[in-house]
Amino acid sequence: MTRRLIGIGNPDRGDDAAGWEVAGRVTSWDVSRLTAGSLSLIDLWDADDEVVIVDAMKSGASRGTVVRIDAITDRLPQGQFSSTHAFGPAAVVELARTMDRLPRSLVVYGIEAGHVDHGAPMSPEVIAAVSAVAEELQHA
């Protein structure tokens, strides 16, 4: 059993960097960072792994809002995690569920993005959320 943290995001696109940033700050897990092409997600875990995915989301909540979803018990809202990625994490998780390839434990953190402009820095609200999620995972 391995504890795997997967951060998804584009470090060049403002708040879309959130998941990428969280993964960069946590040292107590096996860490992977993905930009696009997140169909590769399904290859990043084994059946008995404990997995956490962190990604930016667009749900309409105020920027910096953090949601935590147990993806083993609950389906991920499609569309919300599509962000700028080719095959969105929600789609990959549901594909894995269909194909019986989910890990033992899978929790998804979504950090609400404000802007995803190319070359822009993350907004202060998202930076604060990144710090909070990273802190929580570091000591989990």
Partner 1 sequence: MNMPGERREIAVDYLARVEGEGAMYLKIDGGEVTDLQFNIFEPPRFYEAFLRGRHFAEAPDITSRICGICPVAYQTSAVNAMENAAGMFVGGQIRELRRLLYFGEWIESHTLHVYMLHAPDFLGYPSAIEMAADLPDAVTNALRLKKLGNSIMTMVGGREIHPVNVRVGGFYRSPTKSELRSLVDELEWALATAEATVALVATFDFPDFEMDYDFVALHHPDEYAITDGRIVSSSGIDIDPTQWPDHFEETHVEWSNALHANIIGGGSYYVGPMARFALNGKQLSPRAKAAAESVGLVPGESNPFKSIIVRAVEIVHACETSLEIIGSYEPPDPPFVVVEPRSATGHGVSEAPRGLLYHRYDIDEKDLIADAQIVPPTSQNQRSIENDLREYVSGRTHLDDETLTWQLEQAIRNYDPCISCATHFLDLTVERTAAK
User: Residues in the site for partner 1, rule: CB under 8 A?
Assistant: 10-12, 34-37, 39-40, 42-43, 79, 82, 84-87, 91, 94-95, 98-99, 118-119
Nearer to partner 1, 60 or 119 (CB): 119
What are the φ/ψ torsions at residue 93 (nearest 5 degrees)?
Answer: -65, -40
Sheet strands (E) in 9-101: 30-34, 50-57, 66-70
Nearer to partner 1, 61 or 96 (CB): 96
Nearer to partner 1, 64 or 88 (CB): 88
Give the pair of three-digit tokens for residue 139.
Answer: 């000591």
Nearer to partner 1, 3 or 97 (CB): 97
The least distance separating partner 1 from the CB of residue 94, rounded to whole angstroms, comes to: 5
The least distance separating partner 1 from the CB of residue 5, rounded to whole angstroms, comes to: 17
Burial of residue 57, with CB atoms counted within 10 A of its CB: 0-12 exposed, 13-18 middle, 19 or more buried: buried
The least distance separating partner 1 from the CB of residue 92, rounded to whole angstroms, comes to: 9
Rounded CA separation 24/27 (Å): 8
Q: How many CA atoms lie within 13 A of 114 on its CB side?
A: 13
The least distance separating partner 1 from the CB of residue 11, rounded to whole angstroms, comes to: 8
